[in-house]
Amino acid sequence: MADDNGNVLDTLEPGSVRRVHLVGVAGTGMGSFAGMLKAAGYEVTGSDENVYPPMSDMLKAWGIPAASPYRPENLDDAKPDLVIIGNVIRRVNPEATAVRERGLKQMSFPAALGSLFLARSHAVVVAGTHGKTTTSSMMAHVLVEAGKDPSFLVGGVTQNYSGNYRVGKGPHFVVEGDEYDTAYWDKGSKFLHYRPRTAILTSVEFDHADIFRDLPHYEATFEKFVRLIPQDGQLVVCAAYPNAVKLAREGCQGRVVTYVAKEGADADYVPREVSFGANGARFQVVERGTVLGTVELPMGGLHNVENALSVIAAARGLGLSFDEIARGLSTFQGVKRRQEPRGEPNGILVVDDFAHHPTAVRETIDAIHHRYPERRLWAIFEPRSNTSRRNIHQEDYAHAFTGAARASLKVPERHDKVPVGEELDVRKLVADLQAQGIAAEGSTDVQAMVDLVARESRPGDVLLVMSNGSFGGFIEKLLVALKARTGETA
């Protein structure tokens, strides 16, 4: 349908377009979608304000021209049948303005994904506050290993496939369901366009304070999501979040299946005899009281046991045998920036993780602590997201670092999306951690933090770096500094 934003479409027949232009193509999701469109046979171009590696290299490898900066003339060169507008693009963007003025067909990325791919697939959508990228990647890999030849699009680089999308010929399409907004003309969540037939709901905790007022407002979008699942569909929901289970049971027309990583809990899928070691997790899977068998998961942390249980439940609903599922889980190599070892110069292990919500920080520290129980754990954290910069989770962060012997916290710079007086108080957080016996300090300067950690870390330490951004190149700088201590070259 068209409106005052120009010729905005909600649906589109796949055969009706051949040339597609993406405005905001250098973003992780948009760039990967561009690659997926190219692989599916479309002629693809794009534009962005800045196009940097690694996405610039990936677009070049895929044969996708990426113009910079944004200009109306980019549309003249592309001659698109359809323009896809990224959610970072504002209405005043020169290309967005030109698209409206020229009456060109335009769609949001989620609407285009839903219309061009998901409408003709069995969409397996992974939603929730935590664990979406790991769980959706794990789900996709299990289907690949079972010979189902799925397509997938996830929010991180999967280690098994060195990318975050795949175009298969099978009926299933696994997609990470993001609750963030869709486009400048559509402030609804992305996942409302994803046509779920099978869905996993990992968790519902307040997040994205820049677009949701409070927890009820946040829960409301998940309520809309679960209502999309048809009667012959299935919703797998984590019983550790009673509010999520309530939303599922009250709103879902399809079958609701529960799981939780607590042994003996009241859920359809639970683990038994869970153990952790240097190689990851091992546990038995209990399905409605019956032991199916044992899973060897090459990932640590009870939260990853929980992620695996959700995949097991969803895959069983899709008809996979336990042996097929267990084989897939045993060969899952994880996702970049999720407990990813980046180097171990001089016996000092540097681990990269995307954690930023206090629950994710707590679970990640707990996982690393149990994986390396004999080693001193130093947690280095950058509160970078619009929510983590705020004091809304001040007390939760104060209890999120248990298991770390030391913590170094980046003091966030001022951000226009964080109201004055609502900023995270890092000085108070440091004092709260020190009161618990955790050596802690805060800093406004990334290089000063690098120098401190490089100087005072010692062989045997695990340095866990957590941020949902680049952290000013912290890890790269730290590895250089640690190698310089031993006379090595980076």
* pLDDT, tens digit, 9 for 90 and up, residues 414-423: 766 677 777 8
Q: Which CATH architecture has domain 117-330?
A: 3-Layer(aba) Sandwich (3.40)
Confidence of residue 471 (pLDDT cuts 50, 70, 90): confident
Cα(80)–Cα(67) distance, integer angstroms: 14
pLDDT at 328 over 70: yes
Architecture of domain 340-484: Alpha-Beta Complex (3.90)
Secondary structure element (H or E) that encloses residue 21, with its range:
strand 19-23
Compute the distance between CA of residue 198 and CA of residue 317 in angstroms, rounded to an integer: 8
Q: Distance from CA of residue 231 to its chain's centroid?
A: 28
Taking the C-alpha atoms of residue 465 and residue 481, their distance in angstroms, rounded to an integer, is 15
The confidence score (pLDDT) of residue 463 equals 96
Taking only the tens place, the pLDDT of each residue in 169-187 is: 999 999 999 998 999 999 9
Average pLDDT for 105-129: 95
Q: How confident is the model at residue 126 (pLDDT cuts 50, 70, 90)?
A: very high
In this predicted structure, what is the pLDDT of residue 401? Answer: 94
Please tell me the predicted confidence (pLDDT) of residue 163. 77
Q: Among 268-277, 356-365, 469-478, which range has the highest average pLDDT?
A: 268-277
Stretch 397-408: mean pLDDT: 92
Class of domain 7-111: alpha beta
Instruction: Say if residue 109's pLDDT is above 50.
Output: yes
Confidence (pLDDT) at 416 = 62
Q: What is the mean pLDDT of the chain?
A: 90
Mean pLDDT of 441-454: 92
Q: How confident is the model at residue 11 (pLDDT cuts 50, 70, 90)?
A: confident
Predicted local confidence at residue 487, as pLDDT? 56
- At 131 the pLDDT is 86
- Contact, 89 vs 24, CB < 8 A? yes
In the chain, where are the structural domains located? 7-111, 117-330, 340-484
